[in-house]
Structure 1
Amino acid sequence: MLKNLSIQSVSWLSSLVVATIDALSTFNLILFCIFSCCTRLQKCPTTVQDFLVLGAAVKHGQVPPVLATRLDKAINCWKTHQSAKIIVSGGIVQKAKESEAEVMAAYLIAHGIPARKIICETQALNTWQNLTFARQLIKPQETVVVVTSDFHVLRARAYARKMGLNWSFISSKTPWRYCPLTFIRDYLGIIRDHWWVFCGSTLLLLLVEFILK
C-alpha cells in the first residue's frame, strides 16, 4: 500500500502520526498531572490500623526531600491515629549500606514516632514489591492507608487493585523543583504498564483523523 503512495502522501501521513501521538501524549500528561494534584485532597479515614509508607531512593543514609514529604504526611496522620502502626517499605538499592526502610524508620523516630510503632519491610525494590511484601505483614481485616507522593498514587493504586487490595491512599505534595522529573517519569511508567491502551487510543484517533481528512 505504501509503495503506491506519493512522497507527499507519505510525508503527510508521517506528520499526522507524529502530531497525533504528540497531542495524545500531551493531553494525557495534563490529565495525569491534574489527577495527581487532586489526590492531595484525599483525607485520612477515621479508622486506621496500619499506615504503609512507600519507599524511595535514599542518598548516603539521608532521606531526600520527596521521601521526606511522604514521611511527614504519615507523621501528621499518625498523630490523630496513634494506635496505628507505621510500616516503612524499601530495600537496599544502589549498593547502599542501609535499606530505605531503615533510613525511613530513623527519620520517623527522630520526629517523635515511638520505635515500637514502626515496622520495617526491607526487601522491596520497586512499587509492586512494596505492596507485595508489606501485605505479608498485615492482617487481611486490618484497615490500611498507603502514603506516597501525589505523582505516584495512580500507579501504586493500580497495582493494589490488581492484587485485590482494598487499601486507601493519601498523598504528599511533591516539592516544586522535583515535579518535572517525577511526574514525567511516573507518567511514562503508566504508559509502560498500559501500553496497549495508549496504542489503541492512538490508532483510533489516527483512524478518525484519516477519515475526516
Structure 2
Amino acid sequence: MHEPVLILGSRLLGGRPGSTLTRRLEAALPYALESLHVVVSGHMGEAEAMFQWLVEHGVAPDVISVENQARSTNENLEQSFALLKGYPSWVVVTSDFHSLRTKMWAWHHGLTVQLVTAKTPFRKAPKMWLREVLALPHSLGRILWRRVRG
C-alpha cells in the first residue's frame, strides 16, 4: 500500500485508548501494517497512546508519525497532511458517526481520502451521534465562512 494512513484520535481512559479509539485502531491496523507512512493525530496524549498501541500490535515504530497538536477534525487533517506532503490520496480512519464531518473537512482542504470507519460501541452510540448532529452544522458553517472569506 502506498497511501499514507491517518488515524484520528479519541478519548483516552487512564492513558490508554478508550473503546471508541480502540475500535478505530483495530480498523486501521490492517492498513497500518501495510503502509510505509502512518500518522496518528490527537491531543492530550491521544497520539502518543495510539503510537504505543500500534507498536504493541506489530506496526514498525519508524513508519509512524505523531501529530499531537490537533484539537479538531479540521486540525487533524490540516496538520497531518502538512507532515507528509505530496501524497495524492490518503486512507483516513475514524468512527462511523464521524465520517460525514471528516469527508466535509477533507473536501474543504481539497484532499482525496479513502475513509475507513470503525463501528461505534453500542453503549456510546446515542451520545456520539447526538454530539455529531450538533457538530455538523458548526463545521459546515466554518467551512462556508472560510470559502466566503477566501
Cα distance in 2 between the residues matched to 1:155 and 1:106: 27
Of Structure 1 and Structure 2, the greater strand share is in 2
1:106-155 CA distance string (max 9 Å, x none): 01111111111211001111111101100111222343110000000100
**Paired position in structure 1 for 2:39:** 87
1:172-202 CA distance string (max 9 Å, x none): 111111110111111111133346xxxxxxx
Matched, 1:59 2:5: no
CA shift, 1:160, in A, is: 1.1
CA RMSD of aligned residues (A): 1.5
Which runs of 5 or more residues in structure 2 are unaligned?
142-150
CA contact (8 A) 1:48 1:143 kept: no
Count of residues in Structure 1 that have an aligned counterpart in Structure 2: 141
CA contact (8 A) 2:90 2:113 kept: yes
- Identity in percent: 34
Among 111, 115, 137, the residue aligned to 1:169: 115
**Paired position in structure 1 for 2:32:** 78
Cα distance in 2 between the residues matched to 1:66 and 1:179: 10
CA contact (8 A) 1:48 1:145 kept: no
Comparing 58-67 with 185-194, which one deviates more in the overlay? 185-194
TM-score, normalised to structure 2's length?
A: 0.87
Cα distance in 2 between the residues matched to 1:71 and 1:172: 8
Matched AA of 2:50? M
Cα distance in 2 between the residues matched to 1:120 and 1:159: 20
Rg comparison, structure with higher value: 1
TM-score, normalised to structure 1's length?
A: 0.62
Cα distance in 2 between the residues matched to 1:189 and 1:48: 32
Cα distance in 1 between the residues matched to 2:82 and 2:116: 21
